Amino acid sequence: LVEWLVAVLPRHPGLYAAIKRQLLNLAGAKIGHNVHIYPGVRIFVPKGLTVGNNVSISSYVVITTAGTVSIGNNVLVGYGSQILSANHHIPENRGIIFGSGHDCKPVVIEDGVWIGANVTVLPGVRVGKGAVVAAGAVVTKDVAPFAIVGGVPAAVIRVRE
Protein backbone atom coordinates (compact mmCIF):
# COMPACT_ATOMS: atom_id res chain seq x y z
CA LEU A 1 0.00 0.00 0.00
CA VAL A 2 2.78 2.45 0.92
CA GLU A 3 4.63 1.80 -2.35
CA TRP A 4 1.40 2.39 -4.28
CA LEU A 5 0.77 5.67 -2.44
CA VAL A 6 4.31 6.88 -3.11
CA ALA A 7 3.97 6.01 -6.81
CA VAL A 8 0.44 7.35 -7.39
CA LEU A 9 -0.05 10.41 -5.18
CA PRO A 10 2.51 12.73 -6.82
CA ARG A 11 0.68 12.28 -10.14
CA HIS A 12 -2.75 12.92 -8.59
CA PRO A 13 -2.70 16.08 -6.48
CA GLY A 14 -6.50 15.96 -6.01
CA LEU A 15 -6.29 12.50 -4.46
CA TYR A 16 -3.35 13.59 -2.31
CA ALA A 17 -5.31 16.64 -1.09
CA ALA A 18 -8.38 14.52 -0.27
CA ILE A 19 -6.34 12.04 1.76
CA LYS A 20 -4.47 14.82 3.59
CA ARG A 21 -7.74 16.62 4.34
CA GLN A 22 -9.23 13.45 5.86
CA LEU A 23 -6.11 12.76 7.92
CA LEU A 24 -6.08 16.34 9.23
CA ASN A 25 -9.75 16.09 10.25
CA LEU A 26 -9.00 12.81 12.05
CA ALA A 27 -6.10 14.54 13.85
CA GLY A 28 -8.40 17.28 15.20
CA ALA A 29 -8.24 19.99 12.52
CA LYS A 30 -11.44 21.41 11.05
CA ILE A 31 -11.07 21.37 7.27
CA GLY A 32 -13.85 22.56 4.95
CA HIS A 33 -14.89 21.41 1.48
CA ASN A 34 -12.86 21.85 -1.71
CA VAL A 35 -9.62 22.41 0.19
CA HIS A 36 -6.44 21.65 -1.76
CA ILE A 37 -3.39 21.02 0.39
CA TYR A 38 -0.48 20.30 -1.91
CA PRO A 39 2.49 17.99 -1.24
CA GLY A 40 5.16 19.33 1.10
CA VAL A 41 2.81 21.30 3.38
CA ARG A 42 3.82 20.95 7.05
CA ILE A 43 1.27 21.55 9.80
CA PHE A 44 2.33 21.52 13.45
CA VAL A 45 -0.17 20.55 15.28
CA PRO A 46 -3.40 19.89 13.30
CA LYS A 47 -5.67 20.27 16.36
CA GLY A 48 -5.29 24.08 16.35
CA LEU A 49 -6.14 24.54 12.66
CA THR A 50 -9.47 25.62 11.12
CA VAL A 51 -9.76 26.00 7.33
CA GLY A 52 -12.90 27.14 5.49
CA ASN A 53 -14.16 26.13 2.05
CA ASN A 54 -12.48 26.64 -1.33
CA VAL A 55 -8.95 27.07 0.02
CA SER A 56 -5.66 26.33 -1.72
CA ILE A 57 -2.51 25.82 0.35
CA SER A 58 0.46 25.50 -2.00
CA SER A 59 3.49 23.28 -1.61
CA TYR A 60 6.09 23.87 1.10
CA VAL A 61 3.83 25.99 3.31
CA VAL A 62 4.52 25.71 7.06
CA ILE A 63 1.73 26.31 9.58
CA THR A 64 2.26 26.25 13.35
CA THR A 65 -0.93 26.12 15.38
CA ALA A 66 0.09 26.34 19.06
CA GLY A 67 -1.72 29.69 19.22
CA THR A 68 -4.39 28.52 16.72
CA VAL A 69 -4.71 29.37 13.04
CA SER A 70 -8.03 30.14 11.36
CA ILE A 71 -8.18 30.40 7.57
CA GLY A 72 -11.46 31.61 6.03
CA ASN A 73 -13.20 30.73 2.78
CA ASN A 74 -11.80 31.33 -0.72
CA VAL A 75 -8.21 31.82 0.45
CA LEU A 76 -5.01 31.24 -1.54
CA VAL A 77 -1.73 30.60 0.29
CA GLY A 78 1.33 30.77 -1.98
CA TYR A 79 4.33 28.46 -2.20
CA GLY A 80 6.77 28.45 0.69
CA SER A 81 4.75 30.72 2.96
CA GLN A 82 4.81 30.41 6.74
CA ILE A 83 1.85 31.04 9.03
CA LEU A 84 3.22 31.06 12.56
CA SER A 85 1.07 31.29 15.69
CA ALA A 86 3.92 30.75 18.16
CA ASN A 87 7.39 32.12 18.64
CA HIS A 88 10.17 31.71 21.19
CA HIS A 89 9.74 33.78 24.33
CA ILE A 90 12.47 36.37 24.90
CA PRO A 91 13.19 36.37 28.63
CA GLU A 92 13.72 39.50 30.74
CA ASN A 93 17.18 41.05 31.00
CA ARG A 94 19.79 38.68 29.59
CA GLY A 95 18.03 35.42 30.35
CA ILE A 96 18.70 32.35 28.24
CA ILE A 97 16.30 32.06 25.31
CA PHE A 98 16.74 28.29 24.95
CA GLY A 99 14.15 26.67 27.17
CA SER A 100 12.35 29.93 28.03
CA GLY A 101 9.12 28.77 26.39
CA HIS A 102 6.91 30.14 23.66
CA ASP A 103 4.51 33.02 23.17
CA CYS A 104 1.36 31.76 21.44
CA LYS A 105 -1.14 34.08 19.74
CA PRO A 106 -3.94 33.29 17.28
CA VAL A 107 -3.57 34.04 13.58
CA VAL A 108 -6.76 34.81 11.63
CA ILE A 109 -6.87 34.95 7.85
CA GLU A 110 -10.31 36.16 6.78
CA ASP A 111 -12.31 35.28 3.65
CA GLY A 112 -11.01 36.05 0.17
CA VAL A 113 -7.37 36.65 1.13
CA TRP A 114 -4.46 35.98 -1.21
CA ILE A 115 -1.13 35.34 0.50
CA GLY A 116 1.65 35.40 -2.08
CA ALA A 117 4.66 33.11 -2.26
CA ASN A 118 7.23 33.08 0.55
CA VAL A 119 5.19 35.28 2.89
CA THR A 120 5.68 35.04 6.66
CA VAL A 121 2.67 35.79 8.87
CA LEU A 122 3.70 36.21 12.52
CA PRO A 123 1.75 35.34 15.70
CA GLY A 124 -1.21 37.52 16.67
CA VAL A 125 -1.89 38.86 13.15
CA ARG A 126 -5.31 39.23 11.53
CA VAL A 127 -5.37 39.52 7.73
CA GLY A 128 -8.63 41.25 6.79
CA LYS A 129 -11.20 40.14 4.24
CA GLY A 130 -10.10 40.45 0.62
CA ALA A 131 -6.55 41.55 1.48
CA VAL A 132 -3.55 40.70 -0.70
CA VAL A 133 -0.12 40.06 0.79
CA ALA A 134 2.67 40.47 -1.79
CA ALA A 135 5.29 37.77 -2.25
CA GLY A 136 8.11 37.82 0.27
CA ALA A 137 6.33 40.07 2.77
CA VAL A 138 6.71 39.67 6.54
CA VAL A 139 3.39 40.47 8.20
CA THR A 140 3.98 41.70 11.75
CA LYS A 141 0.74 43.66 12.28
CA ASP A 142 -2.93 43.36 11.33
CA VAL A 143 -3.83 43.95 7.68
CA ALA A 144 -6.99 45.96 6.98
CA PRO A 145 -9.72 44.48 4.76
CA PHE A 146 -9.01 44.84 1.03
CA ALA A 147 -5.52 46.29 1.64
CA ILE A 148 -2.60 45.25 -0.54
CA VAL A 149 0.55 45.00 1.57
CA GLY A 150 4.16 44.14 0.85
CA GLY A 151 7.69 44.47 2.14
CA VAL A 152 9.60 43.74 5.34
CA PRO A 153 7.83 44.57 7.53
CA ALA A 154 4.65 44.60 5.43
CA ALA A 155 3.19 48.04 4.74
CA VAL A 156 0.16 49.17 2.76
CA ILE A 157 0.80 49.61 -0.95
CA ARG A 158 -2.79 50.53 -1.78
CA VAL A 159 -6.37 49.56 -1.00
CA ARG A 160 -8.53 47.54 -3.39
CA GLU A 161 -11.53 49.62 -4.48
**Region of 80 on the Ramachandran plot (φ > 0 left; ψ -120 to 50 alpha; else beta):** left
Active site residue 36: no
d(CA 103, CA 119): 20
- Residue 51: closest CA among 27, 32, 28, 74: 32
d(CA 111, CA 54): 10
- Residue 86: closest CA among 48, 117, 141: 48
Q: How many CB atoms lie under 10 A from the CB of residue 147?
A: 20
Helix (H) or strand (E) segment spanning residue 20: helix 13-26
Q: Annotated catalytic residue: which of 33, 88, 89, 102? A: 88
Q: Which residues are designated catalytic?
A: 88
